[in-house]
Amino acid sequence: MECPHLGSSVCIAPDSAKFPQGSPSSWCCSVCRSNKSPWVCLTCSSVHCGRYVNGHAKKHYEDAQIPMTNHKKTEKQEKVQHTVCMDCSSYSTYCYRCDDFVVNDTKLGLVQKVREHLQNLENSAFTSDRHRKRKLLENSSLNSKLLKVNGSTTALCATGLRNLGNTCFMNAILQSLSNIQQFCCYFKELPAVELRNGKTAGRRTYHTRSQGDNNVSLVEEFRKTLCALWQGSQTAFSPESLFYVVWKIMPNFRGYQQQDAHEFMRYLLDHLHLELQGGFNGVSRSVILQENSNLSASNKCCINGASTVVTAIFGGILQNEVNCLICGTESRKFDPFLDLSLDIPSQFRNKRSKNQESGPMCTLRDCLRSFTDLEELDETELYMCHKCKKKQKSTKKFWIQKLPKVLCLHLKRFHWTAYLRNKVDTYVEFPLRGLDMKCYLLEPENSGPESCLYDLVAVVVHHGSGVGSGHYTAYAAHEGRWFHFNDSTVTLTDEETVGKAKAYILFYVERQARPGADKL
């Protein structure tokens, strides 16, 4: 929004010596000393934490307004308001009086000058620290081994995502999707959409609460975020614009409380699918999809209308068979899916560690078998038999009629007991390569020898005890190497570490035909 308070609130010199030392993104709150979400006041250059840490930036503004509310405002008080501050990580500007992000500047361009100065400070801090980090990386035997490719050492090319306030659930999903190459490449190859025009054209776009829904594009912001990753930048990317679009079109995710990563992934894919069904610069995106030679018509699965890259990559089909136990009538229904949610069998729920000796180990095959095994429906799920003309006891069984190109498996770790949603902390053993899905197919004889084999590409992990708390991270494979994504921190890791993770969401990619496949 265009803020009218910049002239009276932006008073510091762009290169003020009052700024703290070091990297702006690591500055500490002057009250609580937290280095999470630092904001600098553009009136006095003091640094405080954001409202979703301890809220000292907002309190700084509120304390400055007390004399103005109790006494007649003087000319000096009117000029010094402490209402505008800047995020030291993303360099976006916020006005507390407008209660919104700011897109305009002062007549002298002071906001942009402060922004450029903070960026220079960040770059200087990074340059001075880069040599030390490089030495540490080279001295690490693990990293040196992992970085060795074709006899030469390559640089760490992964980019982290800044946590905007309990947004680790979003970061873990974005990093996982960014490593599904066919899906990611489609979005990165889309042409850019210019969302702003007129006097603000060419400026960086900050989506604010005052903008209408017609001014935002989830596909565009998702595209920008994917383009920012894997470009070799050592500075973490802030997905701020994407997060505000999420706020606009997904009301369930407004605010900064912890969210369920699986729920977010489903909402994200569903909304990308719906938007992709619309137009793109006057050209239907479904037409663009049809022209993509890598996504043939035989690989498409339509969900809610025309096929898009979402359904072409993640779309599969289930056959749901229900049999009446009284008359034997069989009912069949075909349901499209983007992911499969698997229960962890109750007999394994006390097995919390891979190395724990007591009891059998739960495997991904156990979860898949539990999903597809014949099940007798209980009294609360009686089937309405059309032949018996009433609800009867019945059995249910799932078959996979069509496998997707990317198989997304969600392990149901959260369940309701009385008034609480508890976490199932059971370790589930899963293969990193060669997951064989042939035995779960409706017609396995019609599938080729390699078409049912899948290799792991990404894992989302929830750390903590509850869905509304804890922390999400992700492991993902990129060009033969495994990375651990923990918000802004990205580290190289190995297959053994990945295999020990207590997976929440698993992403498997269909294996291309090649000899010597290991099977589950």
* Mean predicted confidence (pLDDT) in 156-167: 85
Domain with CATH 3.30.40.10 in the chain: 6-66+80-126
Among 79, 67, 13, which residue's Cα sits nearest to residue 40?
A: 13
Please, which pLDDT band fits residue 214 given cuts at 50, 70 and 90?
A: low
Question: What's residue 279's pLDDT?
Answer: 53
Q: Which amino acid is at 276?
A: L
Superfamily of domain 6-66+80-126: Zinc/RING finger domain, C3HC4 (zinc finger) (3.30.40.10)
* Mean predicted confidence (pLDDT) in 202-215: 42
- Give percent above pLDDT 70 in the chain: 74
pLDDT tens for residues 426-445? 999 999 999 999 888 877 66
pLDDT tens for residues 52-86? 778 899 899 988 887 554 444 444 444 557 899 98
What predicted TM-score, i.e. pTM, was given to this entire model? 0.66
pLDDT at residue 41 greater than cutoff 80: yes
* Mean predicted confidence (pLDDT) in 291-301: 43
d(CA 244, CA 108): 28
Question: pLDDT higher for 233 or 407?
Answer: 407
SS3 77: helix
pLDDT at residue 134 greater than cutoff 60: no
Identity of the highest mean pLDDT range in 338-347, 354-363, 420-429: 338-347
pLDDT at residue 281 greater than cutoff 50: no
Which regions of 355-488 does DSSP assign to beta strands (E)?
Answer: 362-363, 375-376, 383-385, 390-392, 394-402, 406-412, 414-417, 420-423, 428-429, 435-436, 453-463, 471-478, 481-486
pLDDT at residue 355 greater than cutoff 70: no
CATH class, domain 157-190+217-275+307-312+405-519, is: alpha beta
Question: What's residue 314's pLDDT?
Answer: 96
Question: pLDDT higher for 143 or 373?
Answer: 373
Cβ atoms 47, 121 nearer than 8 A: no
* Mean predicted confidence (pLDDT) in 377-397: 83
Question: pLDDT higher for 450 or 330?
Answer: 330
What's the mean pLDDT when you consider all of the chain? Answer: 78
pLDDT at residue 271 greater than cutoff 90: yes
Question: pLDDT higher for 114 or 498?
Answer: 498
pLDDT at residue 195 greater than cutoff 50: no
Domain with CATH 3.90.70.10 in the chain: 157-190+217-275+307-312+405-519
* Mean predicted confidence (pLDDT) in 135-157: 44
- Residue 233: half-sphere exposure toward Cβ, Cα within 13 Å: 16
Report how far Cα 202 is from the mean position of its chain's Cα atoms.
27
Question: pLDDT higher for 292 or 356?
Answer: 356
The answer to whether residue 367 is catalytic is no
| Least confident range of 172-181, 194-203, 336-345, 441-450 | 194-203
The answer to whether residue 82 is catalytic is no
Residue 48 β-bridge partners: 39
Please, which pLDDT band fits residue 196 given cuts at 50, 70 and 90?
A: very low
Question: What's residue 457's pLDDT?
Answer: 97
Distances (CA, A) of 410 to 243, 261, 282, 407, 438: 23, 10, 37, 10, 19
Q: What is the DSSP track for 10-35?
A: --S-TT-TTSPSS-GGGPPPTTT---
pLDDT tens for residues 306-353? 789 999 999 999 988 888 888 888 888 889 999 999 999 888 766 555
Please, which pLDDT band fits residue 358 given cuts at 50, 70 and 90?
A: low
d(CA 506, CA 45): 45
The catalytically annotated residue of 168, 367, 408, 452 is 168
Question: pLDDT higher for 410 or 297?
Answer: 410
| Least confident range of 163-172, 418-427, 452-461, 491-500 | 418-427
pLDDT at residue 273 greater than cutoff 90: yes
pLDDT tens for residues 490-518? 999 999 999 999 999 999 999 876 544 44
- Give percent above pLDDT 90 in the chain: 30
